[in-house]
Chain A
Amino acid sequence: MTRIGEFLFRRRGHGGRWHWTDIATWTWLILGTVLMFGPALWLVGSSFKGPAQLAEFPPTILPYVQEVTEVEGYDKPLPLYTATLEDGTTRTLAEIRRIGTNSQMVDPANPGEKINVNIANRSPLREIGLATGNYVEPLVANNFVLFLWNSVFVTTMATLITLLTNSMAAFALSKYRFRGRDAVMLLIVATLMVPLSVILVPLYSVVNATGLLNSLWGVILPTVATPTGVFLLRQYMLTIPDELLEAARMDHASEWQIYWRIVLPLAAPALAVLAIFSVVWRWNDFLWPLIVLSKRELYTLQVGLNTYAGELNVQWHYILAMTVVTMIPVVIVFVFLQRFITTGIAGAGIK
């Protein structure tokens, strides 16, 4: 442990002195950490806050809930306040009800006596606590489990089909010589330049004509052919020696077997990278599913989130909580597969 500490707190200055680069480095790194993790921490913290606390200014990082106590003679637990009485003493009292600017309170230790306090003279007594209802209510009552399932289905199917079709295209484009191969490759890569918003309307027409509107397949199929994926896989497959394919051909392997048993296993690192990308893309997709899906039971998570942002009322506590839920798979993918992502990006020379 001391060695780790030594390593972490090593400084350029000798004998415990601070060199200016130490200060610059630490400032830079701390600033960077706050910038990167601040919003994420705020998001996670705030997802456990109630609506009232979210509206508070200044905002807090940690979620608080009001303390409550059981008082004899009252059915429900009563919220606790610190109240300053007319005689100047400060006491912890439970609020029975509020009437105008007056609050009718009771001392939990002495339930018989009611005290009137001006609401300006009382402040809520709070403790750190989690408003888990933010999570439970959407998941249980608002179909978010169904949205989650839709998202998982779309992501899984889209990724599988993406891997299959893109690797087949990449195999042909990297290992077969045919007239117009380079032109085809150029065409595929050129579609990188066309953003979704440009082809939105024609794409909608196509999906509508094929009867895929309001179907999860309408979300899946238009997205499976990705130029990035084809390009990434082709670049990787170019590094697989042709002699291996020829050896397989001598070994009576059909072209399908060569693809399935030789090329695909050897392209596994590139496939892993594409799988990660595809999962993240499809999981985070919002615009296209929003257009295709109009039935509530077909919503994906991202579209489902949108339902909490109404014209008159935005339910921030639900949005924040469900945002955390939607982030979890992506974060897990990154945590466990970041090694593949970095090597894959470096290897393919693209981002």
Chain B
Amino acid sequence: MGRIVLDGITKSFGATQVIHGIDLEIEEGELAVFVGPSGCGKSTLLRLIAGLDRPTSGRIEINGRDVTRASAADRGLAMVFQSYALYPHMTVRQNLSFGLENTRMPKPEIAERIDEAGRMLEIGELMERRPTQLSGGQRQRVAIGRAIVRNPTAFLLDEPLSNLDAELRGTMRAELARLHARLATTMVYVTHDQVEAMTLADKIVVLRGGRIEQVDTPLGLYNRPQNLFVAGFIGAPNMNFFRVRATGGQAELPGGLSLAVPGEGEVTVGIRPQGLHLATGDGPALEVVIRLVEALGAETVVHADAADGTPVVTVLSGQPSLAAGQPIRLAFDADAVHFFGADGMRLEA
């Protein structure tokens, strides 16, 4: 139950094409996260799966059944909207029961399901209130509850945490993870927040401009980004990029540090800020000048400039005594370096 397959999905609004041929498989019980910058088509893709919009071409299958032309209600999915979309004129109980009443479910069963969802989400005592009388977190729970009572084949969640404050977002994120572990139902989750993506996902789908950039596990994305976009998008702070020219398998980083490169010509060298550390001794190192020091306590984020002006960010553990204007030498391990060709695709070392 809950296997979703997208096959060559495209979507145009008038003359503008927003989805350019998406092929994707979401396995049963998987929590797949669509992540990408705003306007990348991730919400549109979710709406296509939900059946709220129809794809211009392509097929959508749920559990092997072609649902491309099926209505939203007939797909057996439940959706949690960004604005929660709770019916403001109904009590929480009515909000939860509305969908079940529409399927002509017997009343005792409706009550049973609502009670169960109320217990699971700890909203039992809010049942007679209206959505306007609830806090943001409570509304979020009710919205999830409305999806759960339907007992759907898959949950679709459209930026469900973006309206919450930072602290609540953290709590709800953990709760969602727990919920997924408990229900073991397929979930498709849309977010622009990579922390949510990294912490929740079994599988992350990185989208840009209506195309899939990479599909992988969170750590797979982090460790082996397939292209420059994914490399820059996943991980905070962003990866440092150096544009270099490789000749004979060798290239020079700004400042003269020489490096073995698996390619020729224009190559981009990427090193994560966490991959750089202060060089000890006189070994080969990247020489930079500090522009700004952000001491966070447990770690220190150093913004610096390389010899040719390329900005370099590094995250150093602890509280090293550094000041703006000070030149430092940074070293890195060979396996922390990513290489990308002139076309932006990953070059295997």
Alpha-carbon gap, A243 to B85, bound state (A) = 6
Within 8 A of B (CB), among A209-261: 241, 243-244, 246-254, 257, 261
Residue A266 at the B interface, CB < 8 A? yes
Residues in B with CB closer than 8 Å to A253 are 73, 98-99, 102
Q: Are B103 and A250 in contact (CB under 8 A)?
A: no
How far, in Å, is A192 (CB) from chain B's closest CB? 31
Q: Are B73 and A251 in contact (CB under 8 A)?
A: yes
Residues in A with CB closer than 8 Å to B146 are 247, 251
Residue A100 at the B interface, CB < 8 A? no
Alpha-carbon gap, A253 to B146, bound state (A) = 14
Q: Are B98 and A266 in contact (CB under 8 A)?
A: no
Binds A, one of B75-83, B220-228, B272-280: B75-83
How far, in Å, is A242 (CB) from chain B's closest CB? 9
Q: Are B79 and A247 in contact (CB under 8 A)?
A: yes
Alpha-carbon gap, A155 to B300, bound state (A) = 76
Q: How many A-B residue pairs have CB under 8 A?
A: 57
Residue B345 at the A interface, CB < 8 A? no
Q: Are A243 and B73 in contact (CB under 8 A)?
A: no
How far, in Å, is B30 (CB) from chain A's closest CB? 21
Q: Are A241 and B89 in contact (CB under 8 A)?
A: no
Q: Are A248 and B98 in contact (CB under 8 A)?
A: yes
- Residue of A whose beta carbon sits closest to that of B75: A250
Residue A262 at the B interface, CB < 8 A? yes
Residues in A with CB closer than 8 Å to B72 are 246, 249-250
Residues in B with CB closer than 8 Å to A88 are none
Residues in B with CB closer than 8 Å to A251 are 73, 98-99, 102, 146, 150
Residue A310 at the B interface, CB < 8 A? no
Q: Are B85 and A252 in contact (CB under 8 A)?
A: no
Alpha-carbon gap, A266 to B89, bound state (A) = 7
Alpha-carbon gap, A113 to B102, bound state (A) = 92
Residues in A with CB closer than 8 Å to B73 are 249-253
- Residue of A whose beta carbon sits closest to that of B97: A251
How far, in Å, is B15 (CB) from chain A's closest CB? 16
Residues in B with CB closer than 8 Å to A16 are none
Q: Are B52 and A246 in contact (CB under 8 A)?
A: yes
A25-64 CB contact bits vs B (8 Å, 1 = yes)? 0000000000000000000000000000000000000000
Residue B50 at the A interface, CB < 8 A? yes
Alpha-carbon gap, A243 to B99, bound state (A) = 15
- Residue of B whose beta carbon sits closest to that of A265: B89
Q: Are B85 and A262 in contact (CB under 8 A)?
A: no
Given A250-B77, A252-B73, does the pair A244, B99 have CB atoms closer than 8 Å? no
B13-49 CB contact bits vs A (8 Å, 1 = yes)? 0000000000000000000000000000000000000
Of A241, A252, A253, A262, chain B has the most CB atoms within 10 Å of the CB of: A252
Alpha-carbon gap, A249 to B52, bound state (A) = 8
Alpha-carbon gap, A249 to B89, bound state (A) = 17
Of A241, A247, A248, chain B has the most CB atoms within 10 Å of the CB of: A247
Q: Are A250 and B87 in contact (CB under 8 A)?
A: no
Residue B88 at the A interface, CB < 8 A? yes
Alpha-carbon gap, A246 to B85, bound state (A) = 9
How far, in Å, is A182 (CB) from chain B's closest CB? 15
Of B71, B82, B83, B102, chain A has the most CB atoms within 10 Å of the CB of: B102
CB < 8 Å neighbour of B83 from A243, A248, A250, A262: A243
A: which residues have CB within 8 A of B? Answer: 241, 243-244, 246-254, 257, 261-262, 265-266, 268
B: which residues have CB within 8 A of A? Answer: 50, 52, 71-73, 77-79, 81-83, 85-89, 98-99, 102-103, 146, 150
List 9 A–B pairs whose Cβ atoms lie within 8 Å, in order of A's numbering: A246-B72, A246-B81, A247-B146, A249-B71, A250-B79, A251-B73, A251-B99, A252-B103, A266-B89
Question: Lowest 5 CB-CB distances: which A-B pairs, in order?
Answer: A251-B99, A252-B102, A247-B85, A243-B85, A252-B73
A250-B52, A253-B99, A265-B89 given; name 8 further pairs at CB < 8 Å. Answer: A241-B85, A243-B85, A247-B81, A252-B102, A262-B87, A266-B88, A266-B89, A268-B89
